[in-house]
Amino acid sequence: MDSLASIAACGAAEVRFADVRKSYGANRVLRGLNLTLDGGGMYCLMAPSGSGKTTLFRVLLGLEPYDAGSITGVSAGDISMMFQEDRLCEALSAIENVALVLPGRARRSDVRELLSQILPATCLDQPVMELSGGMRRRVSLARAVAYPGKLLVLDEPFTGLDAQTRRQVIDFLLANRHGRTLLVATHGEQDAEFLDARRLNLAELQGE
């Protein structure tokens, strides 16, 4: 699969957060975050809603400036990101949405093969606006997986999926990770178990 071969060759990022701080006015969201993600490691970030997970991802991507500290080992272009919201191009098909993030000229047959692992073949050429919420979530995941980043960051990737589909999607993720560093935000303890990922408690990683 020439168009997607670069995924396996892109390597894995080691990422270090050192005393990272971020506030919105008087609201101190990140309070001296210290964390190292080993290259090729798999991590589940466990924290309740509103505790700073999304802010952490936004400063990692460079979408928000942080107030103090440092983040080293990765740049925004090295990150494959799946947001909580799908951020798909509604009028494009599942195949076209994934092809958008691939370098060079992607072969549709390669993208179709990837998507067929987690979606019915009959829906791959439909505009994503016509797909169910669970199907759209899987397109978003496949797009993040297809991008040749050294760090995969997934924000609540399994939301809205039933138990059987969730397990299928986790198997897809593991099969297509190709050794890249993985950071997943999830509320599901079972997700960490299925991924065999290290659990990270955001509150325990921060000073004051």
Q: What are 117-130's pLDDT values in tens digits?
A: 999 999 999 999 99
What is the mean predicted confidence (pLDDT) over 27-43? 95
Query: Taking all residues of the chain, what is their mean pLDDT, rounded to a whole number?
Result: 91
What is the mean predicted confidence (pLDDT) over 85-106? 90
Please name which of 161, 166, 148, 143 lies closest in space to residue 95, comparing C-alpha atoms.
143
Using the CB atoms, write b or e for 34-47: b if 16+ within 10 Å: ebebebbbbbbbbb
Residue 3 scores a pLDDT above 80? no
Please state whether beta strands 151-155 and 181-185 pair in parallel, antiparallel, or not at all (unpaired). parallel
Residue 91 scores a pLDDT above 60? yes
Given this model, what pLDDT does residue 160 score?
84
Given this model, what pLDDT does residue 1 score?
43
pLDDT category of residue 208 using cuts at 50, 70 and 90: low
Q: Count CB atoms within 10 A of the CB of residue 53.
A: 21
What is the mean predicted confidence (pLDDT) over 163-180? 94
Question: Tokens at residue 153, please?
Answer: 């960051």
Given this model, what pLDDT does residue 104 score?
73
What is the mean predicted confidence (pLDDT) over 160-174? 93
